[in-house]
Amino acid sequence: RRSTSLDSTQTHDQMGIFEFFLQSSTSVSLLGALLLLLLYLSSSVTFSSDEDRKCPPGPKPLPILGNLLQLDLRRPYNSLMELSRKHGSVFTVYLGRRKVVVLAGYKTVKEALVNHAEEFGDRAPTMLVQHDHHQHGVLWANGDSWKEMRRFALASLRDFRMGRKVCEDKIFQECSYLMEVLKEWEGEPFDTTQPINFAVSNIICSMVYGSRFDYDDPEFTSLVDRTITIIQLAGSPSIMMYNLFPGLLKWISNRREFHRLSASSQQKNLEIITRLKKTLDPQRCRGFIDAFLVHMQSLEESGVTKSHFHQDNLLYTIMNLFAAGTDTTAITLRWGLLLMAKHPQIQNQVQEELSRVVGHRQVLLEDRKNLHFTNAVVHEIQRVANVAPTALPHVTSQDVVFQGHFIKKGTVVYPLLAAVLCDEEEWEQPHTFHPAHFLDQEAKFVKPDAFMPFSAGSSGPRACPGEALARMELFIFLASLLQHFSFSPVPGVSPEQLLVASAPGSASIPLAHQLCALPRL
């Protein structure tokens, strides 16, 4: 593999729409390419109405294809960042025939998602998600159902102490299990993916299902592995193309695999719901599912016949919570360990501070106020990891004039978080791993306003409901792991040669790699 560095400019071969089709060896893909070419040549769509002239500027689109030829489908957020440098912080691109307004830079994203939270507050489900979720759950839904599910989920998870100090015990417990797994490798190379996924997932499991699982429990491991695969498939270039041309690309294998795995996860969650229902005690709720079932029973006993509290909303809400509570935090932790192995001098500074401030006892959340450098490193990992470069797509709930541009109701909006976390006006070294971004002149921790890994606004309608929990997990997991282990590349690979790059897709996921965890204590 070619050696790259986070501190150097990485170049990637672009994957355009025609390359997407031609890379496949099937005759169906060639037929699809020919059909698209015929549509392109015969189309009379010009994208030049008076309404479009009032919209934010952007690159000139082609009929049918829009601006797809200008995007790297492997990492579309990089292409959007390049376009923002030319067209400004608010610009329009056409993904096929779909018009998308992209928001780039800290000031613009904050103004839209905080100052105009209601106007930009609806969710824009993709074609794949629409077919799968049917406007249920808390992640992709809109309207009254979404509002009720979100309100209930937040209240219930608060009852189970999400984000509060007593939640530390659950994280401490998983830290101990995870460290036992790492010790078993005895310093030999291992893939960090599964053990970290299992540890992080167990935190949300204890809150949603009411209990944690053993790491070798086949029900648990298959549920986690399927969920991670589903998320990766949803962000793949082929699924991106299906979402834009669903009638033409129903044949792609990733779409069929997505629906197969999703159906399997739904069935497994229904089995868990049924099992929990049989042992339900309304006086002692074990987790979110119990609380939801008790509320459903209460409504039925009160004679309420029409309600958003039904099994479909329960099923998709717990699947949303499970996925959100596993994926982004686990990916960020994997980036963190990879970056520590890449920058051993920074790892040493963290360990020196931990030894000086904490010693051999368990790292506590309250230690964060005295672990300034460690806290800065955790935040810089989140900034550089940039796990959700475009956030989830929004859609305008009404016509809005934003920064002098008219944006029509129903327009899809991409908040480009990658351009916020690398905003050259906000960060001293935006493209470098530089923990000093979060330290003042006295080496005390400080959090810049442009730090938005969870999107903008902690109280807006689409604010991440698990932000407080994720922040706790990231600090305790990373500090505890670095307290007990030193992470390094596999033998024969120097830190300078360690590959730090993301896999293809709309999310920023580290490429497959192995590390060594050497015990310190």
What's the confidence (pLDDT) of residue 139?
A: 84
User: Is residue 489 within 8 Å of residue 341, measured between CB atoms?
Assistant: yes
Q: Contacts by 140-148 with C-beta closer than 8 Å and gap 24+? A: 140/320, 140/392, 144/308, 145/308, 145/313, 148/308, 148/309
CA distance 316 to 223: 14
Domain locations in the chain? Answer: 68-519
Q: Is the pTM for the entire model greater than 0.85?
A: yes
Lowest-confidence region among 99-103, 155-159, 352-356, 410-414: 155-159
Residues 6+ apart with CB under 8 A from 145: 135, 136, 308, 313
Pairing label, strands 98-104, 122-123: unpaired
**Residue range 440-464: mean pLDDT, rounded:** 80
For residue 242, which of 86, 129, 355 has the smallest C-alpha distance?
129
Angle at 45 between CA 39 and CA 51, to 5 degrees: 155
Q: Residues within the annotated binding site for heme?
A: 464
Please write the tens of the pLDDT for every residue from 458-470: 555 666 667 888 9
Q: Residues within the annotated binding site?
A: 464
Helix (H) or strand (E) holding 291: helix 288-301
Helix (H) or strand (E) holding 229: helix 218-234
350 vs 304, higher pLDDT: 350
Lowest-confidence region among 92-96, 125-129, 225-229, 441-445: 125-129
What's the confidence (pLDDT) of residue 163?
A: 46
Helix boundaries (H) for 7-126: 17-22, 27-42, 50-54, 76-87, 106-110
What's the confidence (pLDDT) of residue 130?
A: 74
- Please, which pLDDT band fits residue 24 given cuts at 50, 70 and 90? very low
What's the confidence (pLDDT) of residue 132?
A: 67
- Please, which pLDDT band fits residue 340 given cuts at 50, 70 and 90? very high
Please write the tens of the pLDDT for every residue from 391-401: 889 999 999 99
Helix (H) or strand (E) holding 95: strand 90-95
Residues 6+ apart with CB under 8 A from 419: 80, 81, 84, 89, 104, 105, 109
* pLDDT of 45 over the 90 cut: no
CATH code that applies to domain 68-519 = 1.10.630.10
Residues 6+ apart with CB under 8 A from 207: 157, 160, 162, 287, 288, 321, 325
- Percentage of residues of the chain with pLDDT beyond 90: 64
